[in-house]
C-alpha cells in the first residue's frame, strides 16, 4: 500500500519499506504506532485466555484462584513499571486480569445494584434510552453491528490517508472533516467485503467449531 501511495504522491512515505513492519505485532508495543485499536483486541483476547486458565481453580480452590489472579496482576503492573514489554501485549493482559475477574464476579452476583433506590442508576437508564433512539439511524446501526471491522481497519486507513490528505488540504478542520468522511466511506464499502470473504476474522462465524455436549447437567447445591 505504501508503494501504491508513493506512486500517486511521491515523498509521502519513506521507502523502501522494511519487512520488519509486517512483524510489528511481535515487537513489544510497537503495534500502537501503526494500528492503535488492535492492541486492545490483542490484550483482551489474551486476558480471556488467562481468565479461562485460572478459572479452572474455582471449583475446588477458589481462594487460590483469587490469589493467583492478584499475583498475575501485580506481575503485569511491575513489568509495566519497569518498562519491560512482552509480545502481543501479554503484560497489559496480566495487569488487566484482576479487573476482568472482578467484573465477572460482580456481574454474576450483582451486589453493586443494591440498594434499589440509588439515584445514579438514572444515568445508565438515560443512556440506554438515548441509544435506542440513535440505533434507528441506518448508518449508525450498520457500523455498530459490525463495529469490530471499523475498529480494526480505520487505523491503517488513517495511516495512509493522513499524509495524503495533508498534502492537498492544509486547513486542520478541513483535513479532519475530509479524513472522517473518507474513512467512514471506505469502512462502509469494505464491511460487506470482509463479511463475505473472511467472516471468521470479523466475529461473524466461528473460527473453530466446538461440539457442545448437551447431555451434561450442572447441579447447584444450596
**Ramachandran sector of residue 167 (left: φ over 0; alpha: ψ -120 to 50; beta: rest):** alpha
pTM: predicted TM-score of the whole model, two decimal places = 0.61
Residue 42 sits at the vertex; the CA angle it makes with 39 and 43, to the nearest 5 degrees, is 85
Report pLDDT digits (tens) over 2-40. Answer: 777 777 777 776 666 667 766 776 766 766 666 777 788
What is d(CA 78, CA 84) in angstroms, rounded to the nearest whole number? 8
Find all residues with CB under 8 Å of 206, minimum gap 6, and list them. Answer: 200
- For residue 172, pLDDT over 50 is answered with yes
The pLDDT of residue 77 is: 92
Report pLDDT digits (tens) over 58-102. Answer: 778 878 888 999 999 999 999 988 888 888 888 999 999 999 988
The pLDDT of residue 222 is: 41
Q: Is the peptide bond before 16 cis (omega within 30 degrees of 0)?
A: yes
What are the distances in angstroms from CA 167 to CA 156, 161, 170, 171?
18, 10, 7, 11
Instruction: Give 182: exposed, middle or buried? Use CB within 10 Å, 0-12, 13-18, 19+.
Output: middle
The pLDDT of residue 215 is: 53
Could you give the maximum distance between any two Cα atoms of the chain, in Å? 72
Report pLDDT digits (tens) over 100-157. Answer: 988 888 777 665 555 555 556 677 778 878 878 887 788 778 878 888 888 888 888 8
Q: Which parts of 18-159 are beta strand (E)?
A: none
Amino acid at each position: 500500500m505504501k508503494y501504491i501511495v508513493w506512486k500517486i504522491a511521491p515523498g509521502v512515505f519513506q521507502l523502501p519499506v522494511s519487512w520488519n513492519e509486517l512483524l510489528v505485532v511481535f515487537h513489544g508495543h510497537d503495534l500502537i504506532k501503526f494500528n492503535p485499536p488492535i492492541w486492545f483486541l490483542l490484550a483482551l483476547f489474551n486476558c480471556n485466555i488467562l481468565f479461562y486458565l485460572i478459572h479452572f481453580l474455582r471449583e475446588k480452590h477458589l481462594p487460590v484462584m483469587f490469589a493467583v489472579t492478584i499475583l498475575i496482576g501485580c506481575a503485569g503492573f511491575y513489568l509495566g513499571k519497569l518498562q519491560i514489554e512482552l509480545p502481543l501485549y501479554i503484560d497489559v493482559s496480566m495487569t488487566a486480569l484482576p479487573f476482568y475477574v472482578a467484573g465477572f464476579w460482580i456481574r454474576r452476583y450483582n451486589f453493586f445494584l443494591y440498594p434499589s433506590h440509588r439515584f445514579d442508576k438514572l444515568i445508565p437508564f438515560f443512556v440506554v434510552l438515548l441509544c435506542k433512539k440513535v440505533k434507528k439511524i441506518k448508518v449508525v446501526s450498520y457500523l455498530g453491528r459490525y463495529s469490530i471491522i471499523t475498529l480494526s481497519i480505520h487505523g491503517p486507513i488513517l495511516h495512509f490517508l493522513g499524509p495524503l490528505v495533508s498534502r492537498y488540504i492544509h486547513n486542520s478542520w478541513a483535513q479532519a472533516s475530509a479524513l472522517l468522511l473518507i474513512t467512514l466511506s471506505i469502512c462502509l464499502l469494505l464491511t460487506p467485503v470482509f463479511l463475505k470473504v473472511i467472516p471468521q476474522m470479523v466475529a461473524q462465524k466461528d473460527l473453530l467449531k466446538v461440539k457442545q455436549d448437551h447431555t451434561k447437567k450442572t447441579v447447584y447445591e444450596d
